[in-house]
Amino acid sequence: MRTADGDARTAPADLILRGGVVHTLEPDSRRATAVALRDGTVARVGDDPEVLALAGPATEVVDLAGRAVLPGINDAHLHATWLGAMWPDTLFGDHAVPGAPRERPLLDDAQRRRAILRAGELAASLGITSYTEPGLGPGEDHGPTGAFGTSVAEQYRALAAEGKLRARVTVLWLYGELDGPSDLEHFLTGLAATDGATSDPRWLRFAGVKIFADGIPPMRSAYTHHCYADGVRPSLLVAGADDAEREANLTRMIVAAHRAGRQVGVHATGDRSIDVALDAVERARAEHDADLGHYIIHGDLVTGPQLRRMAALGVGLDTQPEIAVRTRSLVDDALGPGSAAAAWPLQAAFDAGVSMCLTSDAPVLSPDWRRQIAAADEWMGAAADPRARMERLLRCYTVEPARQDAAASWKGTLAPGMAADLCVLAADPLSLSPAELPDVEVELTVVDGEVVHEHGVRVPQAESV
């Protein structure tokens, strides 16, 4: 019963989803068919009778008719503003309109704002309720796309203050150029000058910094311990007179950011750049032992020993399996036959206990997370049973990115008190193989208790007759 001052546990829900399969992704979750949401959080998860006990006169009750509920999808690496400008084009081009220009630069703040809003609608349609915008800042204030400068961060701040974001956003600052050079001086100046304040950190949070350590294997710009097949010797993107100085400067950047309490996401694809980044994190943690959720972005050529070190240091991995699938032959061309088969060792990352996020890197790839899960499964091969594989891969889009966001205490799973961020799929993913997932519709998306996307699931009841 509701007490005089309103008992938080028994007050009526705003929205109840019942008659479905609810995957809470909690560690020891029991079978649930219903979930109740109230005031932007999950009020109860359980079977239909216990959840329907929270139905009041103003509660909307939706019959899921067997559909599946998942925690909201969190894409840990998604260039949303750029995506909003490009969509439906992507860099891998499978939606490309023939003859359409690839780049559509954002010329002013109104266009940047529209691009963010457009990406928000797209995210909502895919069940994405959180994402990380990996790299906005002064290094790109005069960049060719207009999608990565400081003014984009300001648009995010304005939209958050107006309550217009459709997904929760984490931002990493960028003090160099996107996919380009950076130098220690500008990095340290930027780090000192950056203002991280936002109207509500649960909607918009400036978590830390993005550093481009190197490039990518197909371009022969991944910083590796050995030369490429054609003799190219790669170097770091961080400025310095020689390898030793560039490595020292990258180390200084990471240590300085850690000292300032900032999370660091390092774009590192080569084994040598990953070594430098891990050495730096080890040094930073020896000086001040805090787990700030640092992570390696891409990690194409990460090795088994490096993965074990990452697990020990609390360094996560953000990776894009569809890039592995699509660039396999390019990687073999660059690094020699068999190189791709040893790259992106997703199974080894799981075995080592690395906190791994699968991400789209959209608009490099489509932001459709279902395709990344299918690609990850294809890349790893079918060792475990499909249900276990699917559950593990779903965690890479929910639980693990919540950890990366330092938000595991309030989002990423469905349990009382957690954020009311969820999506509803037309079929239960755990009854399917990952290869079948891309064909399963996202039918409802809820962020902070608000329905931001629906497609067929919420049949109007009283009004329709």
- Cβ-count burial of 410 within 10 angstroms (0-12 exposed, 13-18 middle, 19+ buried)? middle
Which residues, in sequence order, are CB contacts of 144 under 8 Å at separation 6+?
A: 103, 105
Residue 123 vs 420, nearer CB to Zn ion: 123
- Segment near Zn ion (CB under 5 A), from 219-227, 229-237, 253-261, 357-365? 357-365
Q: Please, what sign has the CA dihedral across residues 447, 72, 438, 322? A: positive
Residue among 332 and 361 whose Cβ is closer to Zn ion: 361
Q: How far is the CB of 296 from Zn ion (least distance, A)?
A: 13
Least distance between Zn ion and beta carbon 359 (Å): 8
For Zn ion (CB under 5 A), the number of binding residues is: 1
Single-letter amino acid code for the residue at 216:
I
The full DSSP string for 422-433 is EEEESS-GGGS-
CB of 77 to Zn ion, least distance (A): 6
Report d(CA 242, CA 388) in Å as an integer.
Answer: 47
Cβ distance to Zn ion smaller for residue 322 or 361:
361
Among 17-25, 106-114, 200-208, 354-362, the segment contacting Zn ion (CB under 5 A):
354-362
Closest contact distance (angstroms) between CB of 274 and Zn ion is 16
Residue 212 Cβ vs Zn ion, minimum distance, rounded to whole Å = 9
Q: Is 361 in the site for Zn ion (CB under 5 A)?
A: yes
What is the CB neighbour count within 10 angstroms for residue 118?
A: 17
Chain residue at closest Cβ approach to Zn ion: 361
Q: Count the Cβ atoms, other than its own, within 10 Å of residue 151.
A: 17
Nearer to Zn ion, 83 or 424 (CB): 83
Nearer to Zn ion, 361 or 368 (CB): 361
Helices 243-259 and 271-287: crossing angle in degrees, nearest 10, is 40
Let me know: does 29 contact 438? Beta carbons within 8 Å. Answer: no
Looking at 86-94, 197-205, 359-367, 396-404, which segment touches Zn ion (CB under 5 A)?
359-367
In the complex, what is the shortest distance from the CB of residue 42 to Zn ion, in angstroms, rounded to a whole number?
31
214: contact with Zn ion by CB under 5 A: no
Residue found under tokens 């380009």: 180
Nearer to Zn ion, 210 or 389 (CB): 210
The 8-class DSSP code of residue 268 comes to: E
User: Hey, what are 369's tokens?
Assistant: 């997370």
- Positions that interact with Zn ion (CB under 5 A): 361
